Amino acid sequence: MAIAFKTQESFRGDYSFRNSPEAVQRFPFPFHQDSYMYSVNMEPHGSGPVGSVFEHAFDIDEHYLAEIEDRRITLARDPQRCQSLPHMIDAEWDVVELLMTSLAQDYPEHFMLLRDGSHWTWINRPLNLRQSFIFGDAATLPCGPFEYITRQAQGDFVVMDQRDNNLFADCGMVTSQADWSLSFDLGMSFMEWHAPVPLAHELGIFERALKYLLMLQQGHPVRRLNWTMTVNPRLDTAPETYPEWGSDRASVTPQTAGDKVHLRVELQTLFRLPRSNAMLFGIRCYLASLAELATQPKWAARLHRVLNTLPPQLAEYKGLVRYQPLARQWLAAHDDGRELSLGTQPD
């Protein structure tokens, strides 16, 4: 079934981004209970419920065209949002294969992949692209293989080299990040790039996660959800452009909180890559304003309670502190204190 792509939507300037009711329905609301703490919440990622964001390996939704355009703008302004260390070339081709085969298989109305030995032809109908190339020969693509395909997929991607019983972020396309810098973090090990996250290290979260991921097998990807909040539906909340979006945090008022404050959920997926033995880390970003979330009453009430009980270090780290009281105030009107069912599904 073909997706109705929005065509005039923006994640900057006039911020015309809006979710359709269907998009709100399938939003990956992350809170199972009324308070939040970190956990190694990884689970198998395969085929999920039909219509959900978990149904396919890589989710495409109504915002596809707008997100691809936003990525194009960000890269034009700052090409270093996409970098790949030289030894990652095999991994880049692994990513090309994984993304192209998945998208063509899961969205046949929109993508097609024809293969004749190493002669491939990739068709991307929404973007009106047709590219013939030789798999393994970078000269037959208009840019590096990893950059080429990730310019056509929603969400950020980091490719990690596995060596020395560790994972290293040696390649990435990062234009919709929640405030971390690829230029700074490129080449860091798993523990190093997670260094700024408060509390989780003491809980042993990252040690367990690393051990688990080192044994990740081909054909058995996993996923988890992560979350933060953003003022305005802005994808490019990078440290690099902080001077552009930082003041948004101080711009929220009781009247605008419902429309400006967004819950930002990352669907993080991890795939073992076959040729390189590296690992693809997909970070797919979903935004929904408080007002949009409130169309599902349970979600607004639950988010209210999560924000009320959020440890201060987490609020600080997630950058919420300035507008947290306003968000809580706005959500309070949607929380009558009733008991909410466990789990994330709307009531």
Partner 1 sequence: MKAAPLAVVVRAVRELGPEIREFTLAPADGGRFPTYSAGSHVVVSLPIGERVHRNAYSLLGDPAATDEWRIAVRRQSGSRGGSQWLHQHARPGLALEISWPVNLFSLVRTARHQILVAGGIGITPILGQARELARLGASFEAHYAYRGAANAAFADELQALAPSRVYLRDSERDGHLDFGALLARRPLGTHVYVCGPQSMVDAAKIAAARLGWPPGHIHSEQFLAPAGGEPFEVEMRASGRRFTVPRDLSLLEAIEAQGIDTPSLCRGGACGQCELEVLEADGTLHHHDVYLSDAERASGRKIMPCVSRLEGRCLVLNH
Partner 2 sequence: MLTPRLKSQPCYPPMEWDRSGRQHLLFAAGEDAVLARRLFEWPPLGTLTVLSVQENPDAPSCWRSGLPPGAQQRVARRRDAALQQLHDLLEQADMGARLYAVGDEDSIWQALRIAERVGMGAEALRRHRIATQARPVYCVHCRHTTRGVTTNVADCEGCGRALFVRDHFSRRLGAYMGFQVDAEVPGERPEVEEIYR
CB-wise, 10 or 277, nearer to partner 1?
A: 277
CA distance 108 to 258: 37
224 is catalytic: yes
Among 88, 279, 320, 327, the residue binding partner 1 under the rule CB under 8 A is 88
Position 186 contacts partner 2 (CB under 8 A): yes
Q: What is the DSSP string of 119-187?
A: EEEEEETTTTEEEEEETT-GGGSSS-HHHHHHTTSSSEEEEEEEETTEEEEEEEE-SS-BS--HHHHTT
CA distance 14 to 2: 28
Number of residues that bind partner 1 (CB under 8 A): 18
Number of residues that bind partner 2 (CB under 8 A): 27
Position 208 contacts partner 1 (CB under 8 A): no
Kindly name the residue from 115, 224, 249, 322 that is annotated as catalytic.
224
Partner in contact with 193, chosen from partner 1, partner 2, none, beta carbon below 5 to 8 Å by kind: partner 2
**Stretch binding partner 1 (CB under 8 A), from 85-93, 236-244, 290-298, 323-331:** 85-93
Position 196 contacts partner 2 (CB under 8 A): yes
Report the SS3 class of residue 346.
coil
Among 22, 137, 316, 347, the residue binding partner 2 under the rule CB under 8 A is 316
Position 240 contacts partner 2 (CB under 8 A): yes
Give the tokens for residue 181: 């810098």
Tell me the pairing of strands 166-173 and 279-289: unpaired
Q: What is the DSSP string of 286-343?
A: EEEEHHHHTTSHHHHHHHHHHHHH--HHHHHHTT-TTTHHHHHHHHHTT-------SS
CB-wise, 125 or 220, nearer to partner 1?
A: 220
Give the tokens for residue 233: 């539906």
CA distance 89 to 85: 8
Q: Min. distance of Cβ 137 from partner 2 in angstroms?
A: 28
CB-wise, 213 or 285, nearer to partner 1?
A: 213
Partner in contact with 275, chosen from partner 1, partner 2, none, beta carbon below 5 to 8 Å by kind: partner 1
Binding site for partner 1 (CB under 8 A): 44, 87-88, 90, 161-164, 211, 215, 217-220, 274-277
Known catalytic residues are 224
